[in-house]
Chain A
Amino acid sequence: MIRLCALAFAAASIIAQYLIWFHAPVEESMGVVQKIFYTHMPLAWWSTVSFFVNFVASILYLAKRRDAYSRLAGAAAELGVLFSGLALITGMCWARPIWNVWWTWDPRLTTTLVMWFVYAAYLLLRASDVGGQRQDTVLAVLGVVAFLDVPLVFISARYWRSIHPSVLGSQGGGMEPEMWLAVLANLVAMGLFWLALLAFRTRQLGTGAAVTALMRHGSIRN
């Protein structure tokens, strides 16, 4: 499955890059900078999916106590932090020439940043020995609590102030059909990349756990 996803990603990303640079027109007011959007949006979208997978896997771990769910939650959190971090950086690269600032108070920006902080802390906790024997349970509880916080952070940040362009909310956001095609192609390509990474990292964590168990078993025998 990992190989299949990786190969499909390679093919889809070639098509997606072609669509960005040769098919989609250059946006009139923003110019070539607007093309960052085709990478930025899929990163943000798949980071949200990662956090949701972490949430579901955490609930499943609490319900069934199977280590595989804990590893899936961990892998999803790692991808979420990576993708949301890259979404923030690409967003800042876009905001500087367009808004004339690197950072501004906006619900989507703020929510992404807060979630990045929360899941970075989650990974810090995962890397430490906090919780001892019950570390997986502690992490699962945190995974649930973190995702419950997402809508509250978004609502509170929206009340504070908003200037983010609603590209997807305002009847197409004024994008040409060629631009939409490029967006969809990049979304699919990034999704395949995300799926390959998630499957690979989950399997890697499983192998790591098996090796650790084998070493412990060996030391007990010796």
Chain B
Amino acid sequence: MLKAALAIARKDLSLALSGAQGLVQTVLLGLLLIFIMSLSREPGELSPPLAAAAVFWLATAFGQVLVFNFLYGLEEAEGARLGLLLSPAPAQAVWLGKALSGWVLLFCCQMVFAPAAVAFLGQTVAGSPLTGLAVVAAVDWGLCALGSLLGALSVGKSSRESLLTVILFPLLVPALLAGIRLLETVISGRGLEAVGAWTGTVVAFDAVFTAAALVLFPFLYTGEE
């Protein structure tokens, strides 16, 4: 399964990065959101680290929807979904492949969002940037596990891409809250006492939705229209 998942992820990444269409749209939307949110502060005034972290994760959440719509749309354009389903790989390999490629793409986008949030929202990072990267990567896995599962909703003739946002965002609340608090700690260097509890929340979210997706994905990703 892992081999097939890696092959799907490699295929998706090469398609996404060669045209760069999906990625550019995500990056632009995220930057736009960060820029618009920066208008909420007076010129010369600094945004609180909590607000900066919240804006960063808001941009990420919107970006995630675009990324998974794009990734699942790749097969729909040429009717290649049936080909994937007919391959000897289990359906879970498709979920894992899409989740891995989405994770890489989202992380790349965040590498643009992070300096933009620091610049537009007037932040100085007190903590270690490496810890920040680890936090982002860990929270991203939960987002991508769920995003890849529900991204399969956007397949078929009767898909409604806009509905994915309404369904996905409330489900992401625990991961986003944890991401916001942990990133605030990285930016401000305060609130270290709560890091353990929030890390536990992220690990639990990642584990629950990885397990749920492995069980539920074959029900969603079928040849039916």
Are B163 and A128 in touch, CB under 8 angstroms? yes
Interface membership of B173, Cβ < 8 A: yes
Q: Are B209 and A121 in contact (CB under 8 A)?
A: no
Q: List 16 A-B contacts (CB under 8 A).
A: A62-B216, A62-B219, A115-B170, A118-B167, A122-B167, A125-B167, A130-B159, A132-B157, A134-B222, A134-B224, A141-B149, A141-B216, A141-B220, A157-B173, A159-B197, A159-B198
Binary A-proximity of B84-115 (CB < 8 A = 1, otherwise 0): 00000000000000000000000000000000
CB distance from A200 to the nearest CB of B (A): 27
CA A142 to CA B205, docked complex, whole Å: 16
Query: Considering only CB atoms, which chain A residue lies closest to B160 in the complex?
Result: A130
Inter-subunit contact A130/B173 (CB<8 Å) = no
Q: For B216, what are the chain A residues with a Cβ–Cβ distance below 8 Å?
A: 62, 141, 144-145
- A133 to B181 CA separation, bound complex (whole angstroms): 41
* A153 to B205 Cα, complex, angstroms: 10
Contact among B158, B173, B209 with A131 in the assembled complex (CB-CB below 8 Å): B158
Interface string of B126-159 (1 = CB under 8 A from A): 0000000000000000000010011001001111
CB contact between B170 and one of A117, A140, A144, A156 (< 8 Å): that residue: A117
Looking at the complex, which one of B166, B178, B212, B219 makes contact with A124 (CB distance below 8 Å)? Answer: B166
Distance between B147 CB and nearest chain A CB, rounded to angstroms: 12
Q: Is B201 an interface residue, CB under 8 A from the partner?
A: yes
**Total A residues in contact with B, Cβ cutoff 8 Å:** 34
Which B residues lie within 8 Å of A133 (CB)?
Answer: 224-225
Contact of A22 with B by CB under 8 A: no
- Give the complex CA separation of A101 and B178 in angstroms: 26
Option from A115, A117, A148 in Cβ contact (under 8 Å) with B208: A148
Residues on A with C-beta less than 8 A from B163 are 121, 124-125, 128, 130
Does B17 have its Cβ within 8 Å of any Cβ on chain A? no
Q: Is the CB of A145 within 8 A of B212?
A: yes
Closest residue of chain A to B180 (Cβ to Cβ) is A160
Number of interface residues of B (CB under 8 A): 35
Give the most central of A118, A140, A149: most B CB within 10 Å.
Answer: A149
Closest 3 A/B residue pairs (Cβ):
A152-B174, A117-B170, A156-B174
Q: Main SS of the interface on chain B?
A: helix
Q: Does B177 touch A at the CB level, under 8 Å?
A: yes
Most chain B CB within a 10 A radius of its CB, from A132, A141, A160: A141
Contacts of B222 on A, CB cut-off 8 Å? 134, 137
For B159, list chain A residues within 8 Å (CB): 130
Please report the C-alpha to C-alpha distance between residue A130 and residue B213 in the assembled complex, in whole angstroms: 19
Q: Is B204 an interface residue (CB 8 A)?
A: yes
C-alpha spacing A16/B62, complex, angstroms? 47
What would 9 more interface pairs be, CB under 8 Å, given A115-B170, A142-B167, A159-B198? A130-B153, A132-B156, A132-B224, A134-B156, A141-B216, A145-B171, A152-B205, A155-B174, A155-B201
A134 neighbours in B (Cβ, 8 Å): 156, 220, 222, 224
Residue A114 at the B interface, CB < 8 A?
yes
CA distance A140 to B163 in the complex (A): 16
Residue A2 is within 8 A (CB to CB) of chain B in the complex: no
* Closest chain A CB from B199 CB (angstroms): 11
**In the bound complex, how far is the Cα of B208 from the Cα of A146, in angstroms?**
12
B171–A141 CB distance below 8 A:
no
Query: Who on chain A is nearest to B168 by CB?
Result: A121
Chain A CB within 8 A of B194 CB: yes
Residues of B within 8 A of A62 (CB): 216, 219
- Asked if A129 is at the interface (CB within 8 A of a chain B CB), the reply is yes
Judged by a CB distance under 8 angstroms, whether A138 is at the interface is yes
Q: Which A residues are in CB contact (< 8 Å) with B166? A: 117, 121, 124
- Chain A contacts of B212 at CB under 8 A? 144-145, 148
Known A125-B167, A152-B204, A155-B201: A132·B225 in contact at CB below 8 Å: yes
Given A130-B159, A130-B160, A160-B170 contact (CB < 8 Å): no
Determine the residue in chain B with the shortest Cβ distance to A135. Answer: B158
- Cβ-defined contact, A145 with B150, below 8 A: yes
Could you say which of A115, A128, A160 has the most chain B C-beta atoms within 10 Å of its C-beta? Answer: A160
Q: Which residue of A lies closest to B217 (CB)?
A: A141
Nearest CB of chain A from residue B118's CB, rounded to whole Å = 24
